[in-house]
Amino acid sequence: MFRNLARSGNRLATASTRRTQRLYSTAPPKSSSGPTFPAMLAVASMGFAAYYTIVKSREGKTMPRRKETTTYEEEEALKQKRIAEAKAKKEQKQTKAIPAFSPEEVTVVFVLGGPGAGKGTQCENLTKDYGFVHLSAGDLLRAEQKREGSKYGELINNYIREGLIVPMEVTIALLEQAMNEAIAQGKEKRFLIDGFPRKMDQAVKFEEVVVPSKLVLFFECPEEVMLKRLLKRGESSGRVDDNIESIKKRFRVFIETSMPVIEAFEKDNKVKKISCDQPVEQVYQGVKTIFDEMFAEKK
């Protein structure tokens, strides 16, 4: 888990060692009061080498000398080897990540819609009726935020309060972990992922490292309707973002960053739109029609 985070952590670590090494290879700082440790080590080892040579020659043996001339073939072979190594390294970098799951084995449906579009309510019944596991990116983030000892709690809290999108490495890692846990518990390998991806890069990354999605369910809803629902929910939810300021920010973020995601999936013919400006039961009938067609046979 947190593979991506760990990977970037390593990159940072390597970068800082590289910097240290570069410092070592240049001249010692002028202000330094005595020889540096590497300098002392170099002098000591030279001294030892001289001593060793003398002792060996006294014994009538000569030191093995480094071969100074190489044949043309040897040079050429070495050159070819270096080229091959560089090429392999480059290819390794270019290789795309292999998704954690195959789409034949694991079904993912993205459930999108503005805040307050009723995604959670619809997902609840889809879970019961079609054997899907419901994963809400928002709920996973909020749970991680509250989890004792979480490295990301504070970070997540700040992003959510500002109505911003949490860095995707965190969200994707939490989703993949939740999927693995559900599969380990023997649940259906069908997932409704609600409130994710909220940005194009998240969509691309998720499909690259976790699994490509089968369907994108998009709940269309006028802003006034969503606002009314959210303010009502805020009376009881206790969520830090169910206040008018946060809600307005979330609407703006949704229009600017999430609509392009839906447009991109539309090009792949993966999007089904449902208007949710109607009673929830009616909305659900629309959703059922789609699911009966696509997933019923597996129930």
Ligand X SMILES: *[C@@H]1O[C@H](CO)[C@@H](O)[C@H](O)[C@H]1NC(C)=O
- Could you list the residues that contact ligand X (CB under 6 A)? 121, 125, 280-281, 284
- Ligand-binding site membership of 117 (annotated): yes
Residue nearest to ligand X (CB): 284
Q: Dump the DSSP string for 140-206.
A: HHHHHHHSTT-SSHHHHHHHHHTTPPPPHHHHHHHHHHHHHHHHHTT--SEEEEES---SHHHHHHH
Helices marked H in the chain: 3-25, 37-58, 72-94, 119-130, 137-146, 153-161, 168-184, 200-209, 223-237, 244-253, 259-267, 280-295
The nearest distance, CB 222 to ligand X, in angstroms, is 19
Nearer to ligand X, 206 or 284 (CB): 284
The nearest distance, CB 238 to ligand X, in angstroms, is 23
Nearer to ligand X, 119 or 198 (CB): 119
Q: Return the structure tokens found at 166.
A: 């949490």
Q: How far apart are CA 103 and CA 200, in angstroms?
A: 20
Q: Return the structure tokens found at 231.
A: 């303010």
| Structure-token match 């090429």, residue found | 87
Q: How far apart are CA 124 and CA 221, in angstroms?
A: 19
- Ligand-binding site membership of 116 (annotated): yes
- Ligand-binding site membership of 50 (annotated): no
Nearer to ligand X, 44 or 280 (CB): 280
The nearest distance, CB 139 to ligand X, in angstroms, is 18
The nearest distance, CB 211 to ligand X, in angstroms, is 27
The nearest distance, CB 96 to ligand X, in angstroms, is 39
Nearer to ligand X, 104 or 281 (CB): 281
Nearer to ligand X, 132 or 251 (CB): 132
Q: Which residues are annotated as a binding site?
A: 116-121, 142, 164-166, 195-198, 202, 233, 239, 250, 278
